[in-house]
Amino acid sequence: MKEIQRALARHRLVAILRAADASRFAEASTVLYAAGIRLLEATLTTPGAPEAIAKMRADLGEDALIGAGSVREPSDVDTAADAGAEYLITPTVNPAVLERAAARGVPVVCGALTPTEIDQAWRLGAAAVKVFPAAAVGGIAYLRAIRAPMPDVPLVPTGGVHLADVEGYLGAGAIAVAAATPLLGDALKPGGSLPDLAARASEFVAATARYAHPG
């Protein structure tokens, strides 16, 4: 659990890979890694994601941390752990998922939205709490309001996080942000532009630079 917390605090950015299939995950992840992104999430709602997780782990440097997203059931925990996922990201608070993940020794960034859900996720042993969908409920202002009574909970806003939002979220106290379409664009689609992905990834990494920890 401490490793993923340190990685979130150090790099401040998670790239979310979600598509109709995972055929371009490995190629896109290489581009993201080259731009400086070290935390990547392959969503289990994408066909072929477990195989992609294994390949990404084999292809990228040892400092890359590859996680599995959209983990909703204990069986998803097993699928992800067997594929080599180093952390799990859920969209919701499911105590059975957190229990199974603890048994498998895989840390969880647990999805939650309301103050009660966020507190519950933290008390159930989440390594961090994914505030989802952040943009839909007030974005940076909502995160700041949540942080006030729960400053000890590491929060990762997700859902509608654009480049222009990154510094605002981190300045409001988020341990990291997670981005999908605003970062990935069309790169995971057939014919999608990997050079454009490289440019966007570099911009996102630059936006985190003020808040990234060197250690």
- CB contact at 8 A, 129 and 150: no
pLDDT of residue 33: 98
**Average pLDDT, stretch 13-17?**
98
Q: What CA–CA distance (Å, rounded) separates 152 from 154? A: 6
Backbone conformation region of residue 48, classed left if phi is above 0, alpha if psi is from -120 to 50, else beta: left
pLDDT of residue 214: 63
pLDDT higher than threshold 60 for residue 215: no
* 49-61 pLDDT, tens digit each: 999 999 999 999 9
> Average pLDDT over the chain, rounded to whole?
97
Does the model's pTM come out above 0.75?
yes
**Average pLDDT, stretch 72-94?**
98
For 203, what's the count of Cα atoms within 13 Å in the CB-facing half-sphere? Answer: 14
What structural domains and CATH numbers belong to the chain?
2-208 (3.20.20.70)
Q: What CA–CA distance (Å, rounded) separates 63 from 31? A: 15
pLDDT higher than threshold 90 for residue 196: yes
The four Cα atoms 123, 126, 127, 130 give a dihedral, to 10 degrees, of -110
Q: How confident is the model at residue 203 (pLDDT cuts 50, 70, 90)?
A: very high
Q: Which sequence positions are flagged as catalytic?
A: 41, 130
pLDDT of residue 53: 98
Q: What CA–CA distance (Å, rounded) separates 83 from 52? A: 9
pLDDT of residue 204: 98
pLDDT of residue 105: 98
* 147-168 pLDDT, tens digit each: 999 999 999 999 999 999 999 9
107-116, 129-138, 139-148, 206-215: which range is least confident on average? 206-215
**Average pLDDT, stretch 173-201?**
98
pLDDT of residue 1: 72
**Average pLDDT, stretch 121-127?**
98
pLDDT of residue 210: 86
